[in-house]
Each structure stands twice: as C-alpha cells, then as structure tokens.
C-alpha cells in the first residue's frame, strides 16, 4: 500500500483537489443477524464533483467467529466479528454542481483474522447509478488492514486501505484510492475516525488527483453496555 501511495503521488495530473469529507453513520441492530444502518456524508469519488450521499442500508451476517471476536473485542462495530456481511442499500446524491443521482448498493464484506492481532477486510461493492440520463454501474473493491493497539486501558485501531474502481461509463478501471486513518472509541456507543485519502481518477482526461482529510462519526445508540 505504501508503494502504491508513492506511485500515485508521483503521477502527473493537471488537477489536484484538497477537501474535507465529513461523515456520520448510525447503526441499530434489528435481530442477532440483521442491522439497520443510515449514512450521511460528503464524498468526491471517481472524478465526480463533490456530492452529499444520504440513505439507509440493511446488513445481513453470519454468527460471530471466535477468532474475529478476539481481534475486535474493543471495536464497537459488531459486523467485524462476522466472517461474511451482506448489505443492500439506497443512496440519494444531491450536488450543487451536477444533477442529483439515485443509487442502489449491493455489498459483500469478508473479514479474516491474521497473525499478530491484525484484521483484513475485503469489501466488494456494486453501485447502480441513476442520473438524469442513461444509468451506469460501478464496481469497487476495498482492502483494509486494521490492528487494535493498547495505550494503557485505551484501545484505538489504526488502519490502512486501498480501493479500486471499475466504471461502466468509461469501460475501464477508472480510479484508485489509498487511505490511512485510526478509529477512536468514545465511551461505549460512539467512534471517531479521522483519515487521510489520496485518490487518482483516470476516467476522463486530464487525470484528477484528490487529497482529502475525512472525519467519520459512528454511532451505536442501541448497543448494550458491556
């Protein structure tokens, strides 16, 4: 991932953008194997203009895996304890600079425990987008490496990730993004996740590079105190 980041920073581009991308996610368990999730965030992806992304999802998952429970004992996100998570969702994307879009999401995320206390997550995400014109689809594959560390009795989780986009509108792999961040638990029902993102979009000419700082607030209002 480090080599990829260095390579991307060195690529020539005539447009570089620096942005701040806030995000709020609210999770509520419905049953032991299903969860409702609502997301509201600002995003700039695959060369698109800055947009809001708002909408709900439903998660479906298997029983917790013992090895994953051990890796994520201090993580508030219960889905990371599951070997496989399937999700279906809808997003509305208003934008001040482009027509609004409606988006259908289908996602499958696998979590694999590694030696040394690390966790690898592989998210496969299919988006079907409906702008004011012909619909198009986009596939995104994101690998995340996370490890929880101990600072006395506090347990933050630094991570690194790489994501690759295939866009049917361009008929090719059109963007790559790398991330570095950390998840900070706040009490028992809240997480704060600052991160840095560097992305390179090649769908249209000239290439466009994005350097962004983001801040994710995860809320788990119905989570039981442990």
pLDDT(58) > 60: yes
Say yes or no to pLDDT of 212 above 90: yes
Q: Can you give the pLDDT at residue 69?
A: 85
Domains and CATH numbers, the chain: 2-219 (2.40.128)
Cβ atoms 60, 85 nearer than 8 A: yes
- pTM of the entire predicted model: 0.88
pLDDT digits (tens, 9 = 90+) for 173-203: 999 999 999 999 998 899 999 999 999 999 8
Helix H segments across the chain? 2-10, 66-71
Under the phi-then-psi rule, with left for phi > 0, alpha for psi from -120 to 50, and beta for the rest, what region is 85? beta
Q: pLDDT averaged over the chain?
A: 89
Q: Is the pLDDT of residue 10 over 70?
A: no
**Segment 71-93 mean pLDDT:** 93
Query: Per residue in 131-170, pLDDT tens?
Result: 877 899 999 999 999 999 999 999 999 999 999 999 999 9
Strand partners, 37: 27, 57
């Amino acid at each position: 991932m480090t080599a990829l980041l260095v390579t991307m920073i060195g690529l020539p581009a005539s447009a570089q953008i620096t942005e701040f991308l806030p995000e709020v996610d609210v999770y509520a368990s419905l049953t032991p194997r299903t969860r409702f999730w609502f997301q509201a965030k600002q995003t700039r992806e695959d060369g698109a203009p800055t947009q809001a992304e708002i909408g709900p999802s439903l998660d479906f998952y298997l029983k917790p895996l013992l090895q994953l429970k051990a890796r994520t004992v201090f993580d508030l996100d219960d889905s990371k304890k599951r070997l496989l998570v399937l999700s279906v969702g809808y997003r509305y994307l208003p934008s001040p600079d482009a027509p609004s879009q409606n988006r259908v999401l289908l996602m499958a995320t696998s979590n694999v425990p590694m030696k040394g206390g690390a966790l690898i997550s592989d998210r496969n995400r299919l988006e079907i987008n409906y702008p004011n014109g012909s619909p198009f689809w986009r596939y995104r594959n994101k690998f995340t490496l996370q490890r929880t560390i101990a600072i006395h009795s506090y347990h933050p989780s630094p991570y690194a990730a790489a994501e690759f986009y295939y866009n049917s509108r361009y008929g090719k792999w059109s963007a790559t993004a790398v991330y570095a961040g950390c998840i900070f638990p706040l009490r028992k029902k809240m997480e704060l996740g600052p991160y840095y993102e560097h992305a390179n979009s090649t769908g249209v000419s000239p290439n466009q590079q994005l350097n962004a700082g983001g801040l994710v607030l995860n809320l788990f209002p119905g989570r039981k105190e442990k």
